[in-house]
């Protein structure tokens, strides 16, 4: 069962035919004290007036290298046009560095700043701004209103995070049994079966995830058909105690949700989208490496459209294998997934007081 939930950018949509949008229009301009948040030409900005004029900060992603661009509306420090200056930017106490210089005509200052550790996370504790020019050095402590900074962070992640190259061929066919626990008490087992098929005339994966708890009191069977090249879904259906509860058919630019006794609901989307019920197997298809952040559009039949937001936070030894630790969730409600480094095995997760780990006896689950 999918445990990833939408962590940012929940999009408003109409009941009859919602639209999954991914644009700056989803982030309207707002005022936060002396700071204004806005989007322009598909980029996110925070702007404020200081004693030396207007200061604008924009996170950008140029050819995969995350950075900040800092711009003033006056030369600062004043000097000959074109002269370069070293610049430091302090984000919640974590420094970014780079170079800046006056623009043509000496009427502005522009700095390109390398990515601070943790991407936009250091912005979370921000409060106010202090900017000073010291001869040939510019130092900026960027501590804007916390709500403004959070808006900038969410906007930047949604608009600037490059869509990852998901490679479904990293998956391996087979069946894995997992023990499902709350604390140390086992609640049941989960059987996950992955087998290769042909769908739409091309290689695909047929995936069945069967959750069996409390001697069948919980009996949920999720069935996915996924394109092998990138794990985008062709279809999803869920059965509880053998009775179909929901079915999703994914088409080109739209999806249709069907439930028993309810009129089908269509949702339009652009580009690619992934199914929100899929968790560890989807992560196994990502190009995982230390510190990487991923933001991906998804659809979940309960939550509607949203995004997966995932960060590779480290490594652990799990079930005898070296594994990547991939974290999602808000502070205090994180979920950590474990993906084998060598064979990309789905090694389960831990979070919200629950654990899914390889093991258990899945012979109790009906075929």
Of 133, 160, 187, at which residue does a domain stop? 160
Q: Which of 136, 160, 184 is the last residue of a domain?
A: 160
User: What band does 23 get if pLDDT is binned at 50, 70 and 90?
Assistant: low
90 and 200 in a single domain? The answer is no
SS3 320: coil
- Maximum Cα interatomic distance, the chain, rounded to a whole number of Å: 78
116/193 same-domain check: no
In the block, tokens 């800046």 appear at: 100
Question: Are 325 and 193 found together in one domain?
Answer: yes
Q: Is residue 332 part of a domain?
A: yes
Question: Residue 206 and residue 204: Cα distance in Å, rounded?
Answer: 7
In a domain, 260, yes or no: yes
The Cα-based distances of 5 to 93, 178, 218, 246 in angstroms read 30, 21, 21, 18
Q: Domain containing 59: what range?
A: 24-160
Query: Per the domain annotation, does 14 fall within a domain?
Result: no
The count of residues in the chain is: 367
Going by C-alpha positions, the residue among 23, 55, 53 that lies closest to residue 40 is: 23
For range 276-287, the mean pLDDT = 93
Write the pLDDT tens digit of every residue in 157-205. Answer: 666 555 678 999 999 999 999 999 999 999 999 999 999 999 999 999 9
In a domain, 4, yes or no: no
| Of 100, 119, 125, residue with least CA distance to 60 | 119
Is residue 264 in some structural domain? yes
Residues 209 and 341 in one domain: yes
Radius of gyration in angstroms for the set of CA atoms belonging to the chain, rounded to a whole number: 24
Residues 189, 146 within the same domain: no
Question: Residue 130 CA to chain centroid, in angstroms?
Answer: 31
Cα 63 to its chain centre, rounded Å, is: 19
Assigned domain for 153 exists:
yes
What would the DSSP string read from start to end of 326-363?
EEESSTTS-EEEEEETTT--EEEEEETTEEEEE-S-GG
> Domain count of the chain?
2
Higher pLDDT, 325 or 77: 325
pLDDT on residue 285: 95
Shared-domain flag, residues 168 and 156: no
Contact assessment for residue 204 and residue 196, using Cβ atoms and an 8 Å cutoff: yes
> CA dist 205 to 198, 351, 352, Å?
8, 27, 29
CB 127 within 8 A of CB 145: yes
Per-residue pLDDT, 96: 46
* Within a domain: 303: yes
Q: How far apart are CA 244 and CA 246, in angstroms?
A: 6
Tokens of 49: 């007036």
Q: Show which of 160, 188, 209 is a domain's final residue.
A: 160
CA pair distance 341, 323, nearest whole angstrom? 5
C-alpha closest to that of 69 among 123, 110, 30: 110
What does the pLDDT look like over 55-91, one tens digit per residue?
676 765 544 444 556 666 554 444 444 555 555 554 4
Average pLDDT of the chain is: 74
Nearest residue to 362 (alpha-carbon basis) of 245, 208, 224: 208
Whether residues 76 and 139 fall in one domain: yes
Indicate whether 139 and 194 sit together in one domain: no
Q: To the nearest 10°, the Cα dihedral for 68, 35, 90, 157? A: -40
């Amino acid at each position: 069962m999918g445990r990833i939930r939408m962590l940012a950018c929940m999009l408003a949509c109409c009941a009859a035919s919602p639209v999954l949008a991914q644009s700056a229009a989803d982030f309207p301009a707002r005022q936060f004290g002396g700071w204004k948040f806005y989007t322009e030409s598909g980029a996110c900005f925070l702007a404020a007036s200081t004693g030396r004029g207007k200061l604008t900060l924009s996170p950008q992603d140029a050819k995969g290298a995350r950075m900040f661009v800092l711009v003033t509306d006056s030369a600062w420090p004043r000097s000959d046009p074109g002269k370069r200056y070293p610049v430091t930017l302090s984000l919640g106490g974590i420094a970014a560095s780079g170079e800046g210089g006056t623009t043509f005509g000496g009427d502005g200052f522009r700095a390109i700043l390398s990515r601070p550790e943790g991407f936009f996370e250091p912005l979370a504790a921000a409060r106010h701004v202090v900017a000073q020019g010291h001869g040939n050095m510019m130092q900026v402590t960027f501590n804007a209103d916390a709500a403004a900074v959070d808006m900038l962070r969410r906007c930047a992640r949604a608009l600037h995070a490059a869509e990852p190259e998901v490679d479904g061929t990293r998956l391996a066919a087979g069946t894995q049994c997992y023990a499902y626990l709350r604390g140390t008490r086992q609640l049941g087992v989960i059987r996950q079966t992955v087998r290769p098929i042909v769908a739409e005339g091309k290689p695909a994966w047929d995936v069945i995830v069967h959750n069996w708890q409390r001697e069948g009191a919980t009996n949920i069977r999720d069935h996915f058909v996924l394109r092998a090249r990138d794990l985008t879904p062709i279809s999803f259906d869920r059965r509880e105690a053998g009775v179909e509860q929901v079915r999703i058919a994914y088409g080109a630019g739209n999806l249709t949700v069907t439930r028993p006794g309810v009129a089908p609901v269509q949702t339009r989307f652009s580009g690619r989208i992934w199914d929100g019920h899929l968790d560890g197997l989807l992560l196994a298809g990502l190009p995982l490496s230390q510190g990487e952040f991923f933001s991906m559009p998804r659809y979940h039949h309960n939550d509607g459209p949203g995004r997966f937001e995932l960060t590779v936070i480290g490594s652990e030894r799990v079930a005898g294998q070296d594994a990547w630790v991939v974290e999602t969730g808000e502070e205090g409600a994180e979920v950590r997934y474990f993906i084998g480094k060598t064979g990309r095995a789905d090694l389960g997760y831990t979070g919200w007081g629950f654990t899914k780990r390889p093991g258990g006896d899945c012979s109790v689950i009906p075929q």
